[in-house]
Amino acid sequence: VPRARHLDAPGWVTVRGMEPIDADYGLLVDNLLDLSHETYLHGGYIGTPEVAETPITTEVDEGAGIVRVSRHMDDAECPPFYARSTGISGRIDRRQDIEYHAPCLYVLHSRVAPTGSVPAPDGSDPDGFHTEITYAITPSGEGKVYDFWAVSRDWATDDAEVTEFLYKNNRTVVMQDVDALNLLQRTLGGERSGYRELSI
């Protein structure tokens, strides 16, 4: 059984919510595994040009049933979601390391830090801000899914304003996904029989 220990671990604070989506669960999985959409859909919150511009690495562990997708961005713009909650001013090094435990648990290990700040050889990371973003993807019927989400952090854990900011802003991001996925599902449902998408 996959674990998400950060949800109740000492030294971590979590905000959470759930949004129903009128779309197939596979569309939500696709959305979460391809974070390049952050640049276009979530600009002003978590999206910056570097997310779409930076290549990814992908690894499939068939034995464990895990898909890993990583995107490492050096000297990137700091999106408002992190700038306002961490106090970082200026550019950042940003890591997005996804673990998708098929069929339903998604964890994004996120690290942001001022550009050039790297973890110490002993593994400590005093300049880094770590966020674990979790989704429990739960089909609720034909073409419908419950989007259970959580954002856990290991910084500013006693700051109620940061907690409220992250809750409100992450829910806004989630609702942007909800609107896009609902529209996508309606569009797909209206396609004529035999329609095929062609990538060029």
- In degrees and rounded to multiples of 5, residue 50 shows phi and psi of -65, -30
Q: Which residue has the tokens 């002993």?
A: 122
CA dihedral 125, 131, 137, 143 (to 10 degrees): -130
pLDDT for 190: 85
pLDDT for 96: 98
Within 10 A of 81 (CB to CB), how many other CB atoms are there?
Answer: 24
β-bridge mates for residue 92, sequence order: 76, 114
> The domain 5-117+125-189: what is its CATH number?
3.90.380.10
Annotated domain spans of the chain: 5-117+125-189
Give the Å distances, CA to CA, from 158 to 11, 49, 96, 111, 113.
10, 32, 25, 19, 20
Is the Cα dihedral 71, 72, 74, 79 positive or negative?
positive
What string of pLDDT tens digits covers the 200 residues of the chain?
678 999 999 999 999 999 999 999 999 999 999 999 999 999 999 999 999 999 999 999 999 999 999 999 999 999 999 999 999 999 999 999 999 999 999 999 999 999 999 999 999 999 999 999 999 999 999 999 999 999 999 999 999 999 999 999 999 999 999 999 999 999 988 877 777 778 77
- Type of residue at 160: A
pLDDT for 198: 80
Report the predicted TM-score, pTM, of the whole model to 2 decimal places: 0.93
Q: Please state, in angstroms and rounded to a whole number, the distance separating the CA atoms of residues 188 and 30.
A: 15
- In degrees and rounded to multiples of 5, residue 51 shows phi and psi of -60, -45
pLDDT for 157: 98
